[in-house]
Chain A
Amino acid sequence: MKTGRLISMVMVLFVIGFCGLVWSAENVAVINGYPVITADPAIASDWYDTEAMYNLYSPLVYPSPEGGVRAHLATKWEAVGGDFTNWRFTLRQGVKFHSGNELTAEDIAFSMTRFITMGRGNSGPLGKVTATVVDQYTVDFLLVKPSALFPDTLALFFPVEKALVLANVKTPGNYGDYGDYGEDWLATHDAGTGPYVMTSHIPGQRLDATRFVDYFEGWSDEGWGPDEVPIEQLIFIMETDYTTLMTLLKSGGLDLEINGGWTLPQLQEIQNDVNLDLAIVWAQNVTVWMNSKVPPTDDEHFRKAILYAYDYESVVGPWEAFGNGETGIFLPNMPGYVPIEPQPRKQNLEKAREELALSKYADNLDDVKVLFHFCGGLDFEEDVGLQLQADMAQLGVTVEVAGPPWPEYSAECSAPGTTPNMTIFLFAPQAAPAADYYTYSMFHPEGLGWIFEAHWFFEDLQITNMLDSTRAESNTPARMLTYELLQPLIADHALAFYPYQKPTLFAHPAYIAGPKETIVFVGPSENMRNWRINLDLKETLLGG
């Protein structure tokens, strides 16, 4: 029967297709990361594109495990003239771009000018910088305001290859002779010196990269086991469905997950699975800002009431199995940290009621409404809001919880009048691996504004002056002392409460190992040069 044979042929094809190999003991790592829209290091913003940055590019200086930065593309630097406005950086010689050309001061100066002129991404913390070439391997950076901590801010400055970018600018553009400054081209192309070379990039969907054998730091085996080899190929995917990701993780289709959107039950499942590991990398400082310019949070007593009303233990309880809970104005493992009020961090409705009675809204609590916003789609943040809502309901105060999508949420927080009463953000140490990132950026009138200063309180001049002095102080113990005095002063104004120090967890199968060193900073843990793959173990775990 002709039809019968046809049917069986189709069935066979189906079966073959069904068994489609999803894994193989190839030296490939499939990594689920954040959606990389543009691979341009001058536009990459927040921590979202650091997975591309740290692999395709090298920063001028590299975060070090002890805090601060160490030599990388630059070998040494010094403040010329003693007033911390003029910094001279000396470059390493023999660093190759992916194109094969050598990195020189021209590239650094061009990249810095480009970074500052385009004025986006992570350029904010640097302020206005003028770059000049001194000689082939020396660059000068001139700042507007003196800052002893300037070198720290360069950990997210990734130089690009000047000649290559200039060859690919589009005219006309926003930058006069420089056209669009290569923005369009760099979105999907690579002009870097990093350990991996981009082979293809579909914005928002997939980024492929292959190992750069001539990477200037080399590929030493030191500290790794005999079967652990560098990963040859990277495939960054941007999947947001965690049920799919769990299936892939267990079946070998996913080798590393850095976006961290697992639900709590899923994390527990991974923890209990012998063949899967959770790497604890940097921590995120969960911060709930209280807007001091919009009623009712414009009243300090009202804000203090919120601090005491929140039940710190309920949301965090099941999460504490994964990491330490306490946190404050900056992360506890950063030098200079002191715990701040209220201690202990437990709900205290008595004190909350006392503070409410002292506030100017004591007599009309029924009329006040507190708006609590979080970034739509994030469960943990919503949980904090819901918990606060339930807690404040016991005091007779209405809290409205809403989760607008990120662009809208971001836009709301750009001005004091439109920022909601309470906004929750997770601040991971980025831009600079030190306390300054939190203190100056968040509490100085010239800080980063926007979500970093969603409390909009700058009236305490003592705090402003102390923050200025930390920037000008090169003596580390003195600076640490200033930080220790600062934190209680800031906490006294009750501008935020800090529910939790949420650990970032990278899920991966047991045959992937890393990162080599735990650095309290966003990005270095995603540098795949710090990870190794054990091909024999992979074959054993998946083949069997």
Chain B
Amino acid sequence: MLTFIAKRLFQSLFVLFGLSVLIFVIARVMPGDPARAALGHLATEEQVERVREEMHLNDPLPVQYYHWLRNLVRGDLGKSSYTRRPVTTDLIQYIPATFELILFATLISAIVGQVTGVLAGYFRNSWLDGLSRLVSYLGIATPSFVVAIFLLFIFSQVLKLAPGVGRLPLIMTPPPRITGFMTLDSLMAGRPDLALTALKHMILPAISLAVIHIAQEGRITRTSIVENMQKDYITVHKVHGIRTSRLVFKYLLKPSIIPTVTVMGLDFAFLMSNAFLVEMVYMWPGFSRYAVTAMLNKDLNAIVAVVLVIGLTFSMVNLLVDIITMFLDPTTRLRGEGS
């Protein structure tokens, strides 16, 4: 099994390397002067030329890439032309906010998706099944920004049931930052009320993110539950009079989990890209909103850094999913060891 992991790791590294080359080349080839963009219009020509030398912009492309790679290894991703701070500082500040949101969304989609899938599969062809199929069709067809706007409009603005945009109400002082997770930091600072408010503010954006995945995971769970329900061993258990809940949880869910886990892994990457839109609508000060701002403002260093971070996360999650799948499904493990 270790050889399998090693092989996959090597593959991921290669892909990331290729990605870095791709995005770097695109960023450097595009029109625009990064030196002038960093200094602003009022800087003199000498100042701009000096910065151009510093950034190695006059060197051939492979040399530039080498310098950039060296800085990357040292943890220096360059300076953002928009916030005028090191990109690494920006990333450290904004990533936890997005992570908190994505984790919450994954939790919601996992629970709700599984529950609806099991119910739909168990009571297949009933009205429950039909309803969940309808909802899942809608869920897949609706862009995340539409969901986000709808939810904000209905629950926050019209019904006034949920708070508005942002992580906390504007005048509340955020707790001192330890992890960057608003809920955890608030609890650690001894302010459970703040943690609760933060949680409330996360509900609508997390649901907006989760909707499409609830739809997909629900469908997949339903399909595999239906498949497994036909199996002989289930019939045997039923005949022996096993309790329904035990049947569902112990014998049906476990084999159905494998395809779900695979899908969840893939979904994580899509969660990250949908977070772009949800964070925009909810003014969430997270990594994805930073990414969108960087792209709208042609902040080249930030764009490259953002693409790499996403690529890295995606690869790691895929690797993790593969490993988990191997644990859960012995056949994959054997197959994996064979190759």
Contacts and interface: CB of A to CB of B under 8 A. Distances in A.
B196 A405 contact: no
Nearest to B293: A405
Given A120-B40, A253-B169, A253-B170, A244 B196 contact: no
B52 interface: no
Given A174-B47, A406-B297, A450-B42, 10 more contacts: A17-B200, A22-B171, A37-B84, A120-B40, A237-B170, A247-B164, A248-B170, A253-B170, A407-B37, A407-B298
Contacts of A244: 164-166, 170, 283
A45 interface: yes
18 contacts: A17-B197, A17-B200, A30-B171, A37-B84, A120-B43, A205-B285, A237-B170, A239-B170, A244-B165, A253-B171, A405-B296, A407-B81, A407-B297, A407-B298, A408-B297, A408-B298, A411-B32, A411-B37
B83 A411 contact: no
B74 interface: no
A124 interface: yes
Contacts of B296: 376, 405
Nearest to B195: A17
Given A119-B43, A253-B169, A16 B193 contact: yes
Interface in B100-151: none
B171 A203 contact: no
B8 interface: no
Interface in A6-20: 13-14, 16-18, 20
A101 interface: no
Contacts of B297: 405-408
B85 interface: yes
Contacts of B197: 17, 20
A394 to B, nearest CB: 34
B82 interface: yes
A410 interface: yes
Contact of B82 (A38, A119, A187, A407): A407
A358 to B, nearest CB: 36
Contacts of A406: 297
B273 interface: no
B41 interface: yes
A476 interface: no
B157 interface: yes
B230 interface: no
Shortest beta-carbon contacts, A-B, top 7: A17-B196, A244-B164, A414-B41, A407-B297, A405-B296, A237-B170, A30-B171
Contacts of A239: 166, 170, 283
B83 A203 contact: yes
Nearest to A20: B197
B41 A450 contact: yes
Contacts of B298: 405, 407-408
Contacts of B40: 45, 120
A120 B42 contact: yes
Contacts of A247: 164
A205 B296 CA distance: 19
A459 interface: no
A99 interface: no
Interface in A273-331: none
B266 to A, nearest CB: 32
Given A37-B84, A240-B283, A244-B166, A410 B41 contact: yes
Interface string A28-46: 1010000001100000010
Interface string B56-99: 00000000000000000000000001111100000000000000
B42 A119 contact: yes
A240 B293 CA distance: 13
Contacts of A414: 41
A438 to B, nearest CB: 19
Nearest to B44: A119
Contacts of B82: 407
A119 to B, nearest CB: 6
A363 interface: no
Contacts of A123: 42
Interface in B22-41: 32, 36-37, 40-41
Nearest to A407: B297
Contact of A243 (B47, B85, B157): B157
Contacts of B44: 119
A515 to B, nearest CB: 22
B170 A37 contact: no
Nearest to A120: B42
Nearest to A26: B171
Interface in B268-312: 283, 285, 296-298
Contacts of B171: 22, 28, 30, 235, 237, 253
Which residue of A18, A406, A407, A410 has the most chain B CB atoms within 10 A of its CB atom?
Answer: A407
A241 interface: yes
B136 to A, nearest CB: 29
Given A235-B171, A248-B170, A13 B196 contact: yes
B200 A22 contact: no
B37 A17 contact: no
Nearest to A243: B157
A30 B36 contact: no
Given A205-B285, A241-B165, A410-B41, A14 B196 contact: yes
A22 B170 CA distance: 9
A204 interface: yes
A245 B121 CA distance: 46
A17 B195 CA distance: 9
A370 to B, nearest CB: 23
B42 A20 contact: no
Nearest to A245: B170
A419 to B, nearest CB: 12
Contacts of A17: 193, 196-197, 200
Contacts of B157: 243
B160 to A, nearest CB: 9
A204 B283 contact: no
A406 B41 CA distance: 12
B83 to A, nearest CB: 7
Contacts of A45: 40, 42
Nearest to A124: B42
B85 A203 contact: yes
Which residue of B43, B85, B170, B172 has the most chain A CB atoms within 10 A of its CB atom?
Answer: B170
Contacts of B193: 16-17, 20
B37 to A, nearest CB: 6
Contacts of B37: 407, 411
B84 A22 contact: no
Nearest to A252: B171
A533 to B, nearest CB: 15
B292 to A, nearest CB: 11
Contacts of A241: 164-165, 283
Nearest to A239: B170
Contacts of A28: 171
A446 B85 CA distance: 32
Contacts of A450: 41-42
A505 to B, nearest CB: 21
Contacts of A16: 193
B169 A22 contact: yes
A17 to B, nearest CB: 4
A411 B36 contact: yes
Contact of B170 (A14, A30, A187, A243): A30
